Structure formats: C-alpha cells, structure tokens
Amino acid sequence: MIKFLFDKDTWQEVYDSITKNKVRSILTMVGVWWGILLLIGLLGSARGLENSFNRLFGDFATNSVFIWGQSTSKPFKGFQEGKRVQLSINDAYKVRDNVEGIEFVVPRNRNNSLVIKGLLSGNFTVYGDYPLLDKVQKKKLIEGRFINQTDIDENRKSVVISDNIYKQLFEKDEEVLGEYIRINGINFKVIGMFKGSGNVGPSSDIHIPFSTFQQIYNQGNKIPFMMITGKPESDIKQIENDAKLMLKNLNRIHPEDKRALGSFNLGKEFGKLTGFLKGMQFLTWFVGIATLIAGVFAIGNILLITVKERTKEIGIRRAIGATPFEIKRQIVVEAVFITMIAGLLGILTGGWILIALDSAFGQGSDAIIVNASVSIAIVFVALIILIVLGTLIGLIPAFIATSIKPIDALREE
C-alpha cells in the first residue's frame, strides 16, 4: 500500500480524473470546504467569546457572591419599613462559621477620597481590605507585594495601587515602590502595584489595610459589603440563600423581605455563560459535522458519475489483469485526496477568518471576541474525520466499479 501511494502513476491517474471535468471537481469540493470552514470558524469564535468572558470576570473566584445592605421593605420586631441595613464584621464572621459550603468570607470597606501625588490628583474609590482578598481576587502584581497581616496588625499606612492609578498620578517611568500618595489628607507608602483587570464586581484600584481604613474613616465594625466564596463542590446559590437568611436573623429583618439585602451571584452568572458556551460548542460540532457529511456524500455522488463514465476504462484494466482490490484502492485514494484537499482549504480559510475576526473585534478592553482560535488537537480531529469519511464514501463507488464484469464493461458505450 505504501508503494502504491508513492507510485507516480497513481497520482497521475488521480490528477487526470480530477482535471477531466474541472468545474465538477471544484463543485464537489465546495461542500467539504464549507463544512470544515464552518467547524473551524464557529469553534474559534466560541473560544474567542469564552476568552472574552474570562477577561470580563477577571481574577475573581467565580464561585462567589457579593452581599450588601439596603433598606427594608417590611416592618419587623418593632422596626418600621425603610430601616437602613448596616452590615458588620461580626456578621461576616458568623456567616463564615455557620453557613455550610463556604471557603472564604471577605469583609470589605470602601470610600471615595481625593488622592494626591505631587501636583497630580483625582477622586478614586479606596478599599480597606484583608490579605485574604488576594486569594479570591488574585492580583497580578507588577511590582512589590499585596497587603499582609503585619500591615493589619500595626495599622500601617501602606497602599497597593493598580497600573491605572499609576498612569494618572505618576510621571512616565517614575519609580512607584516606596513613594507616597496622600489619601484623605494622610500620607500612604506604596508597597505594590498590580495590573488592573476585570469588569465584574466592584472596581478595585486602591487598597489599604482594613484596620487602617477603620481608623481614618471612623468606620468601627461597619462594612458596606462582603464577598463570599464557596468551595468548588458547593452550590453557590444555596450559600447565597443561607447567608442572606442568617444576615436577616442577625439584623432583625423579616425573613421574606427581598429588598433588605442586595446581592450579585457571580457563580450563578458564570454558570449561565459557561452553559451557553457549551451549548454553542455542541451546536457548532453538530452543524459542522453534518455539513461535512453532506459534502462528503456529494463527493460520493460525483465519484459514482465518474465511475459510470470510466466503465470502459475499468473494463480494460480488469481485462489486462487489474484485480478488484487495485480498482477499489484507486477510487478510494481519489475520494480521500479530494476530501483532504477541500478540508485543508477549509482549515486555511477558517484560520484567515479567525484572524480577521480578531483584528476587527478582538482589540481594546471592550473586545467582544478575544484571541479567536482553535487548538491543534481540533484540527487533527477534523482531518481524521475527513479521512474516515472520505474512505467510507469512496468504498461505495469502488464496490460498484468492481461489480461490473470486464466483458460487460468493454461493451459499454
């Protein structure tokens, strides 16, 4: 078989068969070309959307929920409707210790402040945070470090900023570590800078120790919101419901009051998006393979016509000693060759389309499709599918070609 594939006469015969009717050969390849183009193009686009979603969610632990206090909508235990709900650090700790499935609870503080560096200034949201935040919202540090426990224990005037803040308050190429910025009239030493990312959840560009925040803003134990992260196997929706119920009990809120506590379930939203992406990938494989099969069947039909036209030629070859296996082998090789050429053209065209999509829609922070691409493994799978389908479809005209007796084939006009 190997010798046959490297035989010059084999490929000369394939070439003659294809070029005998060029228009028909091209039309034969279009179905397979279109099928593989759809498969590569749609799978690449799905990957680009997935990358866009991942960038949107940034570095947040996706199995998370944010909870904050609002105003009550029902009177309860002597409190009138409209009572402002104020969460506390103790609430966060009790939720952490009593709700099943929780991995981390991160109490957070925030306030808008004027931030000054030399002659440059701006109004930004300043967050008071614990070192634990770096576990649930991993910071991509460019320089320095994030807040540590010593910063908390000693109420240090330390600050970690994003590169977005650096661009607004520092001169180009200016050193950042060890420099001071003024927050709420107090000097803070920059101990780290990270790459800003993520558009989901609160935007975090300036972080100071939680304990320091409590002092300078006189917050006491009050917190505006908390971030809860569930264990990988836990149901984040159930965690949200249990945490809200406990917070209602702690703050004397009616159990059926739906307005008193606000929340954003990142895990739930992420699950919706991943479900959509999986559905899109399944549909892509289904449509692509169905189109491929239709294209390969078209090749089979054309080969049946070709076999019919070559009946006399096949009869002559049989009469001079060609075996049925040799006739079948030649026709199967033609089928696989046509399928492979059309498939490779489809892969190349699909790749060009993905490059064009990335150039048109994959640039900037609000890109819809980010790095649209397919893996080498998918390309190999597509090629294997083409080879298998081409071989199977080539067997049909091959068996028909060898079913004709040589004497009958020689009589064919």
The one-digit pLDDT tens for each residue of the chain (413 residues) are 455 455 565 566 666 666 666 776 777 778 778 888 888 888 888 888 777 776 666 566 678 899 999 999 988 888 888 899 999 999 999 999 999 999 999 999 999 999 999 899 999 999 999 999 988 888 889 999 999 999 999 999 999 999 989 999 998 889 999 999 999 899 999 999 998 765 444 456 899 999 999 999 988 899 999 999 998 888 889 999 999 999 999 999 999 999 999 999 888 877 777 788 788 778 878 887 787 777 777 777 777 776 666 666 666 776 776 677 777 777 777 777 788 888 888 888 888 888 888 787 766 656 667 778 888 888 888 788 777 877 777 777 777 766 766 665 555 55
In a 10 Å sphere around its CB, with 0-12 CB exposed, 13-18 middle and 19+ buried, how is residue 206 labelled? buried
For residue 329, report the phi and psi dihedrals to the nearest 5 degrees.
Answer: -60, -40
pLDDT at 155: 94
Return the pLDDT at 397.
Answer: 72
- Report which of 245, 272, 157 is spatially closest to residue 206, judged by C-alpha positions: 157
CA atoms within 13 A on the CB side of 43: 24
Tokens linked to 353: 């389309």
Nearest-10 crossing angle of helices 266-309, 22-57:
170
Distance CA 57, CA 198 (A): 5
Positive or negative torsion for Cα 30, 32, 34, 36:
negative
The three-state secondary structure class of 387 is helix
Task: Give this prediction's pTM.
Answer: 0.68
> What local confidence, expressed as pLDDT, does residue 279 receive?
83
Rounded Cα gap, residues 363 and 359, in angstroms: 7
Cβ atoms of residues 20 and 313 within 8 Å: no
Query: Which pLDDT score is estimated for 351?
Result: 86
The dihedrals phi and psi of 132, each to the nearest 5 degrees, come to -60, -25
- Residue 201 confidence (pLDDT): 45
In this structure, what token pair is assigned to residue 74? 């029902």
